Amino acid sequence: MANPQWNMNVQAKTHAAPIHTDEVAALMLDPEGRIRDCNETAEELFGFHHDELVTKPIESLFPQLSDIEWLQNGLLNPRLSYFCHIGRQFNAIRRDGTRFASRLFFNELHNREAPHLRLLIRRTDNLA
């Protein structure tokens, strides 16, 4: 079950097509890019249970992110931010090995310990 301190139940609707679902998958990432929490939509989207996703490196779900430094000077990497801003598609991998295209949106969350990132994932129809 998801950690109650992170309200990860995020829903979004859009008129932009094509999106498979109105729900948005959400992952909470630490500064090293490891998953710290997720919502149920993320569990369903990737085919993992919550406990299996937590501590998994984000690169295992999004191989394109393996060479990207998450934070620079304590802030989201500007290049990564730009890719998300322009709607670049990222290929994702489910537990069963199937791939799907998605768009990513990052939110920076700062707390007393260290900055964290909330990653919102919207599935699209076309593989990049």
Give the model confidence (pLDDT) of 63-121 as tens digits.
988 887 877 777 778 888 888 777 788 899 999 999 999 999 887 776 666 667 889 99
Give the model's pLDDT for residue 81.
82
Measure the CA–CA gap between 63 and 75, rounded to whole angstroms: 22
What's the confidence (pLDDT) of residue 54?
94
User: What is the chain's length?
Assistant: 128
Q: Is the pLDDT higher at 8 or at 93?
A: 93
The predicted pLDDT at position 114 comes to: 64
Q: Delineate the domains of the chain, giving CATH numbers in brackets.
A: 25-124 (3.30.450.20)
Query: Residue 120 half-sphere exposure, CB side, CA atoms within 13 Å?
Result: 20
Indicate the residue type of 100.
F
pLDDT in tens, 34-59: 999 999 999 999 999 999 999 999 99
How far apart CA 29 and CA 33 sit, in angstroms, is 5
Selection from 121, 115, 108 nearest residue 39 by Cα? 121
* pTM for the structure as a whole: 0.74
| Residue 127: predicted pLDDT | 58
Asked whether the predicted pLDDT for residue 29 surpasses 60, the reply is yes
Amino acid code (one letter) for 123: R
Q: What are phi and psi of 109, to 5 degrees?
A: -125, 125
E strands, the chain, are 25-29, 35-38, 71-72, 75-76, 89-93, 99-109, 116-124
Report strand pairing: 75-76 vs 89-93.
Answer: unpaired
